[in-house]
Amino acid sequence: MGVLYISGDIGGTNSRLELRRTGSKQTHADEKQRAEGDVLVAEHTYPSQKYPSMAAVVEQFLKEHKPAGESVYCMCLAVAGPVTNNVAAITNLPWPPIDGGELARLFKLERASIINDFEGIGYGLLALGPEDLESVYTPQGQTAQLPSTCAPKAVIGAGTGLGECYLTHTGVHYTVYACEGGHTDFAPRNQTEFDIMQHILRTTQFAPGSSQRIDRVSVERVCSGQGIPKIYEYLAQKRGGDANAKVAAALRAPDADVGRLIAEAAKARTCPLCIEAMDIFTRAYGAEAGNLALKVMPFGGIYIAGGIAGKNMQIIRKDDQFVKNYLDKGRMRAVLQRMPIYLIKHPQVGLLGSQVICRRIVYEALQGNGKQQIRAKL
């Protein structure tokens, strides 16, 4: 029959849960082989704000979708918030902490793992195929296919913020390490970037409604969805006459999605300031990808996640500006030239990551004391 497990992607807006049944290849060490034969039993997305806790969401999901007479073996949730000792404080939700141990006890699971959402993306890489990736840069003499080595990998993703993580191989499998690289200092590389940094310092409050200004600029303040409007704002103050009047009016609307409108105007080439803002963003993003690469040395590849790159690949590829700024590291250029870069195209890679963790739990049990309990179900 296989073993039932729950995988989840939990955010401030939605909580998406899947109930899956393991296939017959859980004894294989290869992550992709384990994924083969897995069956989706049920899936549902719940509006997070309508529930008082994560436990309430899981309880509703099991009530609606768990087959009668069966039990769920394990669960993994990728959560939009920091995780410490298997406990997450989810951002933008008034929930009590999401405690994996407590959830396991409450729902009689063998284990409930709580991981950061970007850590989930890192594990999700292990379940991707070539069709889920788009080559952004291929080192000379290599093909655009997925690297087959056990070399480190790195993930960078600009969305609402800037996420970063890296993967290293233990000799048995890859382990993902989440980090807070998006909160390291932004390092301007020219006068324009320096002026943008100064503009952000002058105009950004420490918190919404606060009169206190920030005292440093992190790279996330520039290389993210919050950075694009700030870059445009600086350009508009400096050269407002170059702005497209219709675009400028749309950006001033109270409910405007400013970053998206700037990107759309840049792609349509209807506003010179939007074009320049997206070019500045892309060059800074490429430079930060190069910074991450030098720290991790990911010869297994750099993977771009997040919604911004996927929706704006014509800007990313324009004059190779992302790759040129990624490679612009002086004496280290030759080192970076050996690392391929891919765009992640799979829309639910974080959910794939939570599935990888659940299958590992099953695999580890099959190798140890839990094998008799599980083998009867496989």
- Tokens 């950075």 map to which residue? 227
Assign 230 to helix, strand or coil. helix
Q: At what angle do helices 258-268 and 272-296 cross, to 10 degrees?
A: 110
Calpha distance 161→227 (Å, rounded) = 9
pLDDT string in tens for the chain (378-residue length): 689 999 999 988 899 999 999 876 666 667 777 777 789 999 999 999 999 999 999 999 999 999 999 999 999 999 988 899 999 988 778 999 999 999 999 999 999 999 999 999 999 999 998 999 999 999 987 766 666 679 999 999 999 899 999 999 998 899 999 888 999 999 999 999 999 999 999 999 887 777 788 999 999 999 999 999 999 999 999 998 889 999 999 999 999 999 999 999 999 999 999 999 999 999 999 999 999 999 999 999 999 998 899 999 999 999 999 999 999 999 999 999 999 999 999 999 999 999 999 999 988 888 876 666 666 555
- Tokens 């069966």 map to which residue? 70
Class at the top of the CATH hierarchy for domain 181-344: alpha beta
Q: Judge if 4-128+348-375 and 181-344 fold alike in CATH terms.
A: no
Where do the structural domains in the chain lie, given as residue ranges? 4-128+348-375, 181-344
Direct distance between the N- and C-terminal alpha carbons of the chain, in angstroms, rounded to an integer:
5
Calpha distance 92→372 (Å, rounded) = 42
Contacts of 294 (CB under 8 A, 6+ apart): 329, 332, 335, 336
Residue 312: exposed, middle, or buried by beta-carbon count in 10 A (0-12, 13-18, 19+)? Answer: buried
Query: How remote is the C-alpha of 164 from its chain's centroid?
Result: 8
pTM higher than 0.95 for the full model? no
CATH number for the domain running over 4-128+348-375: 3.30.420.40
Q: At what angle do helices 191-203 and 227-239 cross, to 10 degrees?
A: 100
Assign 269 to helix, strand or coil. coil
pLDDT computed for residue 209 by the predictor: 74
**Whether 213 contacts 224, CB under 8 Å:** no
Query: How remote is the C-alpha of 308 from its chain's centroid?
Result: 11
pLDDT computed for residue 365 by the predictor: 85
* Nearest Cα to Cα of residue 323 among 300, 311, 309, 341: 341
